A and B are shown apart, each in its own frame.
Chain A
Amino acid sequence: MNHWLTAPILIPLLGGILQALMGYAPISLRRTLALATTVLMLVSAIILLVLADDGSYRIYAFGNWQPPFGIVLVLDRLAALMLILTAVLALFCHLYAIGGADEGNRQFHALFLFQLMGLNIAFLTGDLFNLFVAFEVLLIASYGLLMHGGGTVRTVPGLHYVVLNLVGSAIFLISVGMIYSVTGTLNMADLAVKIPEVSGENLNIVKAGGMMLLVVFGLKAAILPLCFWLPRAYSKATAPVAALFAVMTKVGVYAILRVYLLIFGDNAGELANLGMDWLFPIALATLAMGVIGALGSGSLKTLVAWQVIISVGTLLAPVALGSEAGLSAALFYLLSTTWTVGGLFLVAELVANQRGTADDRIITAPRMRNRTFLSVLFLIGAVAAAGLPPLSGFFGKLLILQSVEPGTEMAWLWSVILIGSFLTVIAYSRAGSIVFWRTVDGHLETPDPLNGRISVAAGALTALAVVMVALAGPITRYTDATAAQLYDTDAYIEILQTPMVGEDN
């Protein structure tokens, strides 16, 4: 039992409740408290990262119930990595939001913090049904955040997003029911024990349940046939919300990693590596689709939204191949791409604010007021996202390419990633050169000046691509250890034997 595990959930929960109750307090007070909550959450994530780095599993059992019978929170290296990824991204998004984007909606901070709570529950939980609850918590907060901001442009993408995710939740429940009806448990560690023992006619029920789970996680992660809701929803969302949503697709990737490596991993008997042979071609097709979308996008935000889909494809391809080196490389790329895409969403909004009616569309417009600053940020973001040296995206892709064994898969992966990266570079250079260089005469009447908070937030989030290169050594050491820990499923199962507090009495 380690009570620190509840900190990343309780901090945003209490902070969010406070925000919900003080909707009429002065905005400066609400902003200070909200930002303080996010900072506290980052501190707790750092503490958990330090705790998790010794390689052991820590659990928190609600109500002191022995694991298979109660809900548990489990902290391992992967969970700590996802927590820190979210906390850092959230801090900069929040900093950007209090630069002015949070006005006009009294509950913005409450929704933002509840969204973070849902994300943190999803990363920490060790129970399949609790994972469903976490998805619902983060989704209902995201519905509210997606609609944040004036105007009517968000209604239709918001409606599509909500309906799709409600159908996804229904499928999630069906698959949970199918798995429960055979195994009689929903604890992930216990499932990992029970699934290999499934045989006979029950096998098909669990198999169907497992594949339907992949559909649900694929919808969250936006893999190919289920990705078309994403560009419209993300490109219409307010900038800090869109930047925070960069981590939402990674929740799907996280769930795939957790469930399919632990429960349907190598040790799962007849159900070993369920769905992984499907995942590899789908991941490559997702990558290709993302590149086509990026080439055809008409505005900066749509371009970045398609970049989200490209990164999901790039992430899942090495994961599907199931090598430890590939998983480690994917985790490195996960950190890099999430922060970069978040930063690019913020930069796109800053660009849009200075171009009047041209907005973020890739067309010529009068020269921007802070063109040098914004173009440098866009250049850093684009270089990191497309995977050109010397920034972190390049190292992520390089590690992924190096991790594949020679063979047919290597040929496919290398060609799709390399051609995809080349075409992404074309998409970014086309967008950047039109937006920043091809200016027309004239001036905008009242261009919004950049204020300190939003430029620091956008600049710092983009600059993380540089920081990651400087810290590439420690980060790869950590992701290597994470990958090794994920493949060692026996250690995870041992949490079932953890003694409870006061059991001896």
Chain B
Amino acid sequence: MELVFALVIGALTASGVYLVLRARTFPVVVGLTLLSYGVNLFLFSSGRLATGQQPVIGTAANYSDPLPQALVLTAIVIGFAMTAFVVVLSLRNLADNEDDHVDGQKPYKSPAPEEEEEVTGK
């Protein structure tokens, strides 16, 4: 179980980081979501992995740590709100700049020559 868990966290985080570094807002948003999934699973595992055990001390010989579960719950709620906000912000970026590039427009595209092209084209 530990190996599968670690591989899942690693895959989620690696894909998340890769997507966050993309130049379009949609992959960045997806990347942030994957990153938060990876982080939540990691946080969950910080209380040690255990199956079928109670989160109450004294009721059984072994217990599962309830605190990381509370932390993950908080992190999920916050992460969800932040994702909603960043989606709205990316849409606003798309509407304002008519481009979903994270810098508003591609860095190599300077506006002045483009206007000239349009004029000669007409």
Interface residues, chain A, with chain B CB atoms under 8 Å away: 129, 133, 136, 140, 143, 147, 152, 155-156, 158-160, 162-163, 166-167, 169-170, 173-174, 176-178, 180-181, 184, 186
Contacting A at CB under 8 A, from B33-71, are 35-36, 39-40, 42-43, 45-48, 65, 67-68, 71
Are B78 and A167 in touch, CB under 8 angstroms? no
- Residue in A closest to B20 when the chains form the complex, CB atoms: A167
- Residue in B closest to A184 when the chains form the complex, CB atoms: B65
Contacts of A156 in B (CB 8 A): 93, 97, 102-104
Known contacts A166-B86, A170-B35; A177 and B78 CB within 8 A of each other: no
Task: Count A-B contacts at CB 8 Å.
Answer: 86
B81 at the interface (CB under 8 A from A): yes
Least distance between A224 CB and chain B CB atoms (Å):
20
B75-93 vs A, Cβ < 8 Å mask (1 yes, 0 no): 1001101100110011011
Are A176 and B32 in touch, CB under 8 angstroms? no
Contacts of A186 in B (CB 8 A): 67
Contacts of B68 in A (CB 8 A): 177, 180
Least distance between B19 CB and chain A CB atoms (Å):
11
Secondary structure at the B interface, as helix, strand, loop or mixed, is helix
14 A-B pairs, CB-CB below 8 angstroms?
A133-B78, A136-B82, A143-B89, A155-B97, A156-B103, A162-B85, A162-B89, A166-B32, A169-B79, A173-B40, A174-B39, A174-B43, A177-B68, A181-B45
Known contacts A163-B28, A170-B35; A155 and B92 CB within 8 A of each other: yes
Least distance between A229 CB and chain B CB atoms (Å):
12
Are A129 and B86 in touch, CB under 8 angstroms? no
Are B43 and A176 in touch, CB under 8 angstroms? yes
In the bound assembly, the distance between CA atoms of A29 and B78 in angstroms comes to 32
Are B74 and A155 in touch, CB under 8 angstroms? no
Least distance between A177 CB and chain B CB atoms (Å):
4
User: Ordered nearest first, which 10 A-B pairs have the shortest CB separation?
Assistant: A181-B46, A177-B46, A152-B96, A156-B104, A177-B43, A155-B96, A170-B39, A173-B39, A136-B78, A155-B93
Are A166 and B39 in touch, CB under 8 angstroms? no
Are A160 and B102 in touch, CB under 8 angstroms? yes
Are A176 and B71 in touch, CB under 8 angstroms? yes
Contacts of A140 in B (CB 8 A): 81-82, 85
- Residue in B closest to A165 when the chains form the complex, CB atoms: B82
* Of B35, B40, B71, B104, the contact of A155 (CB 8 Å cutoff): B104
In the bound assembly, the distance between CA atoms of A147 and B88 in angstroms comes to 12
In the bound assembly, the distance between CA atoms of A143 and B88 in angstroms comes to 12
- Residue in A closest to B96 when the chains form the complex, CB atoms: A152
In the bound assembly, the distance between CA atoms of A173 and B43 in angstroms comes to 7
Contacts of B104 in A (CB 8 A): 155-156
Are A163 and B20 in touch, CB under 8 angstroms? yes
In the bound assembly, the distance between CA atoms of A176 and B70 in angstroms comes to 13
In the bound assembly, the distance between CA atoms of A140 and B88 in angstroms comes to 13
Contacts of B42 in A (CB 8 A): 173-174, 177
In the bound assembly, the distance between CA atoms of A167 and B20 in angstroms comes to 9
Are B46 and A163 in touch, CB under 8 angstroms? no
Instruction: Known pairs A163-B28, A169-B79, A176-B71; list 10 more (Cβ under 8 Å).
Output: A140-B85, A159-B89, A162-B82, A163-B86, A163-B102, A166-B35, A166-B36, A166-B82, A174-B43, A177-B43
Least distance between A318 CB and chain B CB atoms (Å):
34
- Residue in B closest to A137 when the chains form the complex, CB atoms: B78
Least distance between B54 CB and chain A CB atoms (Å):
18
- Residue in A closest to B75 when the chains form the complex, CB atoms: A173
Contacts of A162 in B (CB 8 A): 82, 85-86, 89
Are B39 and A163 in touch, CB under 8 angstroms? no
Are B46 and A178 in touch, CB under 8 angstroms? yes
Are B47 and A181 in touch, CB under 8 angstroms? yes
Are A163 and B32 in touch, CB under 8 angstroms? yes
Least distance between A236 CB and chain B CB atoms (Å):
12
- Residue in B closest to A167 when the chains form the complex, CB atoms: B20
